[in-house]
């Protein structure tokens, strides 16, 4: 709720000039138990920062983080411990997120130890079971990360996240670094695991095609703001925000006849710096519908029905 994460950047000879990077700026959304919320947007839009702030890997600047009705935003590390077990993260880069000097058994076992889940043979059985569940083999436990392919490492990362039997898993671009041929396998596995373990996911991706299949609802972020959120099917069928429309039109259509008639909205230029975002609507520098009001007033959130919300003056009567 109203989540903000600003990073302070010091400049000047003595660091006397402070500026704030508004990475996440007043973002509110909810995720229902057992569902998958997809979070999309170009890089630098604040998706990962949102995920990390929810996990309290970053201290929120302002706002609430309600987990099962409890606001964990002000919690210190000790109070966070039980929640650390309930929420886990799968990272984008399976190369960087596994310690190269630890065996797979140690990597997965570390979380089991931290949360005092099991010891000795019981712990080994859990590790072996997890490896088999993610499509690897028991005897992979004694090997090191470099002996595995990217897809296998991501499976290890998923096994590690699931070792503590979490309820909520934030998947931060878990398939972006993988070969296209492997992406679908990992997504399917995540879906199966969700069903078996009753997991709730926040699934972060930079393009809409990656989250379409797995998400019940999708949120679109632009420059630290949530610009649109809604049921996946509704968002694909009736995208409201010009940015969502542009992201959707960037997905290639396999059918050549349909592709010809598809109007492409090109996104020109880069995302402006979050240090100095445009006034009013942050998307206005790249929006083909920009009006006078867009530079003056930040667009309020308009409810289009069925939980479909958009922040754009075109819908603000
Ligand atoms: Fe475009 Fe204005 Fe809507 Fe922003 S508020 S997306 S600039 S029409
Ligand atoms: Mg990211």
**Which ipTM value was assigned to this complex?**
0.97
Classify residue 96 by burial, with Cβ atoms within 10 Å: 0-12, 13-18, 19+: exposed
Taking each continuous run of H as one helix and of E as one strand, the counts in the chain are: 11, 12
Q: Which residues contact 145 (CB under 8 A, 6 or more apart)?
A: 95, 98, 99, 100, 102, 104, 107, 153, 156
pLDDT digits (tens, 9 = 90+) for 232-278: 999 999 999 999 999 998 776 666 555 555 556 667 777 888 888 89
Q: Judge residue 192's burial from the number of C-beta atoms within 10 Å of its C-beta, 0-12 exposed, 13-18 middle, 19 or more buried.
A: exposed
pLDDT of residue 261: 52
Residues of the chain with pLDDT under 50: none
Kindly report the backbone phi and psi dihedral angles of residue 254, in degrees, each rounded to the nearest multiple of 5, phi listed first.
-65, -30
* pLDDT score, position 267: 75
User: So what's the pLDDT on residue 158?
Assistant: 96
Q: What's the pLDDT tens digit per position in 180-205?
A: 889 999 999 999 999 999 999 999 99
Ligand 1 — pocket residues by CB below 6 A?
Answer: 242, 281, 283-284, 287, 289-291, 294, 299, 312-314
Percent of the chain with pLDDT over 90: 64
Residue span of the structural domain in which 237 resides: 3-315
Query: What's the pLDDT at 19?
Result: 64
Which ligand 1 atom sits closest to the C-alpha of 293? 2
Quick one: which ligand is closest to 313's CA? 1
Give the CA distances from residue 13 to residues 19, 20, 153, 164, in Å, rounded to whole numbers and listed in that order: 14, 18, 44, 47
- Which atom of ligand 1 is the closest one to the Cα of 227? 6
Mutate to test the pocket of ligand 1, among 223, 283, 304, 317 (most ligand atoms within 8 A of CB): 283
Atom of ligand 1 nearest to the CA of 242: 6
Domain count for the chain: 1
Ligand 1 centre distance from Cα of residue 268 (Å)? 15
Separation of alpha carbons 252 and 156, rounded Å: 31
Tell me what pLDDT residue 254 has.
60
Residue of the CA atom closest to atom 7 of ligand 1: 284
Mean pLDDT of the chain: 88
Atom index in ligand 1 nearest the CA of residue 294 equals 2
Q: Which CATH number characterizes residue 9's domain?
A: 3.40.50.300
Confidence (pLDDT) at 27: 87
Distance CA 97, CA 154 (A): 9
171 Cα–ligand 2 center, Å: 11
């Amino acid at each position: 709720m109203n989540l903000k994460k600003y990073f302070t950047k010091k400049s000047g000879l003595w660091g006397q000039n402070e500026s704030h990077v508004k990475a996440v700026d007043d973002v509110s959304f909810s995720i229902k138990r057992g569902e998958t919320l997809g979070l999309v947007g170009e890089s630098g839009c604040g998706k990962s920062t949102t995920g990390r702030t929810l996990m309290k890997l970053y201290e929120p600047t302002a706002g609430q983080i309600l987990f099962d009705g409890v606001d964990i935003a002000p919690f210190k590390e000790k109070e966070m411990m039980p929640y650390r077990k309930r929420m886990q993260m799968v990272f984008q880069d399976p190369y960087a997120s596994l310690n190269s000097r630890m065996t797979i058994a140690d990597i997965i076992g570390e979380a089991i130890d931290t949360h005092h889940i099991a010891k000795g043979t019981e712990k080994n059985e859990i590790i072996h079971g997890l490896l088999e569940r993610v499509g690897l083999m028991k005897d992979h436990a004694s090997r090191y990360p470099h002996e595995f392919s990217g897809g296998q490492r991501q499976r290890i990362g998923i096994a590690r996240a699931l070792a503590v039997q979490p309820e909520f898993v934030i998947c931060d671009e878990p398939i972006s670094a993988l070969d296209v041929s492997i992406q679908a396998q990992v997504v399917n596995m995540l879906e199966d695991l969700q069903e078996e373990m009753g997991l709730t996911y926040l699934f972060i991706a930079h393009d809409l095609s990656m989250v379409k299949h797995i998400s019940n609802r999708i949120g679109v972020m632009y420059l630290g703001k949530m610009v649109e959120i809604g049921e996946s099917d509704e968002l694909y069928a009736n995208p409201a925000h010009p940015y969502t429309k542009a992201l959707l039109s960037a997905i290639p259509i396999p059918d050549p006849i349909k592709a010809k008639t598809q109007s492409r909205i090109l996104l020109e230029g880069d995302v402006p710096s979050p240090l100095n975002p445009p006034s009013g609507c942050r998307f206005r520098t790249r929006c083909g519908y920009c009006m006078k009001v867009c530079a003056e007033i930040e667009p309020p959130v308009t409810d289009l029905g069925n939980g479909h919300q958009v922040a754009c003056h075109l819908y603000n009567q």
